[in-house]
Amino acid sequence: MSRTVPLRSQRLRRSVLSVPAINARALEKSHSLDCDAVIFDLEDSVAPEKKAQARENLRSFFAGPALEGKERIIRINSLSSEFGPADLDLVRALLPDAVLLPKVDEPQDVTDIGDLLADADAPEELRIWAMIETPRGVLNVGAIAESSRTPGSRLDCLVVGLNDLRKETGVLPQPGRTYLVPWLMQVILAVKAYGLDALDSVFNDFRDGEGFDAECGQGRAMSFAGKMLIHPLQIEAANRYFGPSAEEIAEAEAIISAFADPAAKGRNVINANGRMIERLHLVQAEALVHKARLISARKPA
């Protein structure tokens, strides 16, 4: 039997901006941006000789004003690298909302980090996100997602990393991502089976608005929760594509009203304006309206 995720567990993840932790100016700018979440990156965007400075930048940033209305995620380097252990120590000290693990190949990668956080008495609210960006990660994505069912698991979200996946497989970066779609849908099936979120990969050319729009539309059609971004110019489009439209909200509200009619009491299927609607559509409608309310509540004044 599939697990129904409570509405209260939903988080807005339409637009998740990656900010290099070495860039102090970009860190400060994140306060004023309308993204749903920020990934503070200690990995790919920070040169080896700058890793220590990037950690100090994050210490200073977290000591300042809180990042209101946004989920805070720190992407660390692999624990097998020389930088990973110090990154994890920083996570334990700063207690962001989540830690993002790079190049997750198998469930044990997630379990090991979870055990280290538990041993350090990190609060349960500190979640784990996993980058799926290697061939082994894609092959094992079902098992990785299933690990979220183990007692004490902190796994909350999978993030697709196509740049590394293309590099390791030789698949060319073509419009439409034709040869990558099967792998993307494997990630979607995995998260849907176990009640997690999945974020679509970055779009590298932030100046190509038309191409970014097309990829956002594709990601939304695939049922990704949102997209990982590399530039503030991409935030508005991501929010628009991965948020419900006015038409979708109106339709959802109509479905909720139809099932609220006393005549629909105890019925799993009803006829509303010539359309057969099942109670499963009510669950979907309630989730969509809840998401719309979350968006409305966090809009800037």
Binding residues: 75, 133, 164
Residue 200 corresponds to which amino acid? D
Question: Do 29 and 232 contact (CB within 8 A), yes or no?
Answer: yes
Question: What separation in angstroms does the CA of 236 have from each of 73, 122, 153, 201?
Answer: 20, 34, 33, 17
> In this structure, what token pair is assigned to residue 207?
């100046």
List the binding residues for Mg(2+): 133, 164
- The secondary element (H helix, E strand) that includes residue 72 is strand 71-75
Three-state DSSP class for residue 213: helix
Residue positions forming the annotated binding site for substrate: 75, 133
- Beta bridge partners, 271, equal 276
Map tokens 């720190």 to a residue: 74
Contact (CB, 8 A) for 79 and 109: no
Exposure string over 162-194, b if 16+ CB within 10 A, otherwise e = bebbbeeeeeeeeeebeebeebbeebbebbeeb
Cα dihedral angle (55, 206, 246, 255), rounded to 10 degrees? -70
Structure tokens at 291: 């998401």
CB atoms within 10 A of CB 45: 18
